[in-house]
Amino acid sequence: MKPAHLLRSILASLALALALASPVTAQQRARLKFVMPTPPATYLLPFFVAQDLGWYRNWGLEVAEQVVSGDPNALRVVVAGDSDVTLIGPPTIMEAVINGAKLRIFTSWQPITDYQLIAGDKKARTLKDLADKRIAVTGPGSMTMHIPQMLMMRAGVDTSQVKFLSVGGMAARLQSVAAGKVDATLVDTFFATKAETSGVAHTVSSIAKEFPGLGYVFAVARENTLADPAGRAALGVFAKGTVAGARFIGKDPEAAAAILKKRLPDEDISLIRATLDKLNTLGVWGVNGGLDREVLEFSSKTFAQLGMVNRPVSYEEMVDPSIVAAVVGEIGRF
């Protein structure tokens, strides 16, 4: 990418941000805490777009960021009241709802998964080869643990001898595969492409092929935050930013790649851009808030059938669609 072209693209994005709303002073801004279950990755990009282009600040919201390891830990932080929002996988949310947690899904900016199960060279070629292998995961109970189990169970593989090791984010997990510390892991399109391009690993199975339409990550908040007028207003601004961010990636993937590059300074910009082109083609972004009933009901049924959750959880039990409905009513359907 030519520097001048990149600069023009970024300046155009900044101009768009300024056109969306007038600046709000720091004293006027509401505050929201967002806890992420992994370090920066492509699935967080719609949020990064809204945050890093200053949309939230201009709309009167200050979003503080925090990172913990794994979906269960991220949810615990929200349930404890130490954060307001997290973005995690459906199994953790469903189990929490089953156990009486007072929380609701209110939006998603990547409702469809693009995960791929990769393995190191000569470690595994099929799911059956993984029956006694070491698989790196974000942490116990995370999507990165549930999905490999689901894939192997569907293939008739006994997972009782599989060793799931907590490693952390996708970059760390890929490094563990490259170093031979683990045999396989679950990563997104970006890291799967990086692994294959570098010859570090190859794809064993794709979740999009095995479980098309399976839900990926959803934003949850406590019911008391949704019920509080100030909290609800802040969540509305938060959701508006991620919906607009998801649309931005499709409209200007070059500028979006530059934003993610700042969050992933050690990664190659051309690989980031190629990955965004793939994701745009796959249509994974929640450009209208990502709360399609079919996705969540299919996910609930699938996770229950495979024993990942104790029972199916209904859409009404876990979703509050009113925030997204208001956002789409304001900015229009994409």
179 and 67 housed in the same domain: no
H helix runs in 163-263, sequence order: 170-178, 189-198, 207-210, 223-227, 229-251, 253-263
Residue 308 tokens, joined: 């990942």
* CA separation for the pair 295, 114 (Å, rounded): 14
Strands 30-36 and 85-88: parallel
- Grade residue 96 by pLDDT with cuts at 50, 70 and 90: very high
* CA separation for the pair 70, 72 (Å, rounded): 6
* CA separation for the pair 321, 319 (Å, rounded): 6
Given 210, 232, 250, which residue is the final one in a domain? 210
* pLDDT on residue 23: 55
Given 180, 210, 240, which residue is the final one in a domain? 210
Residue 3 tokens, joined: 């520097």
241 and 308 housed in the same domain: yes
157 and 245 housed in the same domain: no
* pLDDT on residue 7: 45
129 and 97 housed in the same domain: no
Single pTM value for the model: 0.85
Residues 6+ apart with CB under 8 A from 175: none
Q: Which domain holds residue 273?
A: 3-113+214-331
* CA separation for the pair 162, 293 (Å, rounded): 33
The per-residue pLDDT for range 51-62, each reduced to its tens digit, is: 999 999 999 999
* pLDDT on residue 307: 84
The per-residue pLDDT for range 146-187, each reduced to its tens digit, is: 899 989 998 999 999 999 999 988 999 999 999 999 999 999
75 and 218 housed in the same domain: yes
Indicate the helix (H) or strand (E) that contains 52: helix 45-52
* pLDDT on residue 14: 43
Given 177, 192, 210, which residue is the final one in a domain? 210
How large is the average pLDDT for residues 26-48?
91
Residue 17 has pLDDT above 50, yes or no: no
231 and 322 housed in the same domain: yes
Residue 65 has pLDDT above 50, yes or no: yes
| 290 in Cβ contact with 284 (< 8 Å) | no
CATH of the domain at 195: 3.40.190.10
